[in-house]
Structure formats: C-alpha cells, structure tokens
Structure 1
C-alpha cells in the first residue's frame, strides 16, 4: 500500500492509493480507477525468464510432430457441401503432416501406444516414456526387420518397468496385434541396444492391484507386503514369476487374517496356475 500526497476534491482529506484505485480516507470517494493490468502478459515457471514463450502449446513427446502441427476439428455445419470440404481438408492435412515413411511409421506407432495406454489404464508418465523409447529405437535403426507392433508393445512394457508399475507381459501383449515372438525380439533389442538396464519386477509391485481385484482388506494387503519382503530376504522369489509370488503372498496373508480366498482365485488374477501359488505358499510356511 502506497500513499499519494494529494487531497480529496470533496473534503480536502488525504487520498490513499491502493491496488488500482485512489480512495479518500475520510469520505471514501473513489478519485481514480485504473482497470488495466500493468503486469507482464506472460507467465514463466523457469529459473531463467529472460526469453519467455508467448505463443503455442507446450511440446509433448507423445506425438510424432511433438504437438506443433495444427489440428482441423469437425465442422458443425449442416451443409453437406461444407462437411465434404472439411473432410477433404482434414485428409490433405493428415497427408502433409508426414513427409517420409519414417514419419508415417512413427505416427502410427504413437497411435498404437496411445491405444495400449488407454486399454491398460496407465498414467501419463508411462505414455511419455514409451513414446521416447520408440523414438530412440527408431533413431538407433532397431526397427529394420522387426515388427512395429512388437516394438510398441515392448516400449509400453519397458516403460512400465522403468516407472515401477506392475503389468505382466501377457497383459501387454494381449492388447496388441503382436505375437509373443515379435514382442520378445523387440524387447531384447531395446534392452540390449538402448542399455535401459531393466531389473526384474518386484512382487510387491503387483500386490495393490491384485488385492483390489480380489476385494481384500487393507490389513491383508499390508501383511502381503511383509510376506513379499520376507520372500526377497529368504530368496524364495529368486527365479520365480513375480506375479505368482505376489498372488501367493496375498493368499498367505488372507488365510492368516481369515479373508475368504482360494488358491484358484489368487492364481486367476495373476494369470498363473494354482500349483505356482501352492508352491510359494509352502515355501513361506517352511
């Protein structure tokens, strides 16, 4: 609050300037009002605001053109002639966005990745990471002689592993057109050539999702996490399917806390056989 040394024209009292108004302190008369915002027209969240960006949407790695191209929406006109014209414009615009076969492959791959992300209910960070991995694989010439569908599935699976989100290979491949062999070839190429250094998934990553699908209580889920830690420390989970180990931990915790669950129920959500659950359960009890 700053004070301006001039007087009110009505009562000759002191006028105080606050924000955008000059108001008399005695009678409350508004002497002047400025509705213009004198501040900057841009906002910057970076440390260096010397060159602020004033136009355009932010860049996104989930589109082949990084989101810089214009999109032509649907016309609400009732005129058939205008609708046909807009359809032709959209078609020509889509063709102009990809000048080479490489760009067309990248655009189609990003569309497939977006569909996988939606089908598996994965967060935005997995979407962006998967698109970055595919772009790196294409720049490294890893797609030659391999399936694009296999690489899109492998990128989604690798992105889940990188951000510690539990999705099995069967779940990822089940939502794609790629075969198991195409997925394996693409994932091995990603892991070998890009050196992303993916470790085996931990059984604890699968426990919250499986507990939710089985309708188990929070106490059972917490106890299953303790069993998962015990499996790791005792080496029970070494060389075993982490999804099956997670199902066995949930089954063991449910029996201990009197939750109604069978070995078949636990095995079905983890896509393993009841024998796998039974063997890990026996190892935990020993």
Structure 2
C-alpha cells in the first residue's frame, strides 16, 4: 500500500522515476526496521518523497509535497521527516544525507510556472548566483521568490503581481517581502550588467519607505 501511495504521489507531482525509486528504498528501510507501525502512513510516505527529492537534487518545498499528501499536514510531514532521518542515521551512520539546497535549485521550475521568457530565466539564475556571495539569512526558496519578484518589477511588460509569484513559488507574500527587503540594498550588485543596462531601478519599490 505504501509503495502504491509513493508511486501515486510522485506521479501527481510529475517527478522522475529515480525519485520514486529512492523514496521506495527509504520506506523499505523503515519497514525492515519495523518502525512504520502505528504511524501516519500519508505523512511518512510524503516525508520519504521530500527526502528523496533532496537527495536527488530535485528539491520540492514542504508545501508542494503537502499538496499531494492525502491530507497530511506540513507539521505531520515535518515530524515524519525528522523521524526518518533519526531512524536511518541509527542504521546508516552519518551517511544518511539530506543534501544541501540552494535558491538556484528551484528557479527554473518557478520561472516556468510564471511563464517567464528565456532571457528572464537566464537573468534570474545569474542573479541567484550573485546573491549567494552576500550574507542573506533567508531560506533558499524565499530568496528565489524574491529575486523573481525583483526581475519582474524591472520588466514593465512582464510585471507580475506579488500574489502570482506567491502562488507559483508556494512562498507566502509576507515571506517574499521580507526576503526582498534584505536583498534590496544589494540589488545593483547582484543583477548582471548585461541586463541592468537601461533598466530603471526606480521601478523597484523601496521596502523601507
């Protein structure tokens, strides 16, 4: 039943087969340890998929995973994820790695969700790379969403409402605003020169005004 649920959830998120295999492998290890009994199956399966995505360098947000988790809440999935990592570290030692994520890991998908053009996708990717040189203490997903917001505000013909960016990235509007406020002082340094030329930075709202 769990393996069918993994296959179904993976299909609904249009994930690659390697993620289904990895999630199934993680669940099988838990089953072999006889530690799945009495636990929320949907949360456990969703957490296996979340971890598999991270390990395969195809990360998804908890919110995205939650959308296909058959009613399991973000909190339940988070607890299940912590439980899995703890259990498998006992079995595998420190080789149970979650993988490191960066803002760039989410960019292409977020841009595609918003119907952005190739040039805009390119500048967003380059801006993300530049932003990593600064000490922006926000989650990679929040930074990704805020940079998309910045680039779309600099392009009057493709300007996107904050609400649309929030929906496409699954990041709350308030969270995007906070990340934008932290990025704003560095904006002329992180946007590539080839794109910045001729752009009116006055189009950007001053978050501190």
Q: TM-score, normalised by structure 2?
A: 0.77
CA distance in 2, matches of 1:217, 1:128: 33
CA-based RMSD of the aligned residues comes to: 1.8
CA distance in 1, matches of 2:14, 2:27: 20
User: Which protein is richer in strand relative to its size?
Assistant: 1
2:40 maps to 1:140: no
CA distance in 1, matches of 2:80, 2:42: 9
> Match of 1:194, SS?
helix
Residue equivalent to 1:231: 131
2:163 maps to 1:270: no
Pairing of 1:2-13 with structure 2 (within 5 A): none
CA distance in 2, matches of 1:139, 1:164: 26
> Match of 1:156, SS?
helix
Query: Unaligned 5+ residue runs, structure 2?
Result: 90-95, 186-209
2:92 maps to 1:194: no
CA distance in 2, matches of 1:134, 1:192: 13
User: Which protein is richer in helix relative to its size?
Assistant: 2
2:56 maps to 1:156: no
TM-superposed CA distance for 1:209, in Å, is: 0.9
Contact 2:145 2:169 in 1 (8 A): yes
Which one scores higher on RCO, CA 8 angstroms, separation ≥ 6?
2
2:140 maps to 1:242: yes
Residue equivalent to 1:112: 5
CA distance in 2, matches of 1:205, 1:190: 23
TM-superposed CA distance for 1:251, in Å, is: 1.5
Contact 2:57 2:99 in 1 (8 A): no
Runs of 4+ in 1 over 4 A off after TM superposition: none
Distance change >3 Å, CA 261–CA 180, structure 1 → 2: closer
Q: How many residues align?
A: 177
> Match of 1:234, SS?
coil
Query: Unaligned 5+ residue runs, structure 1?
Result: 1-107
Which has the higher Rg, Structure 1 or Structure 2? Answer: 1
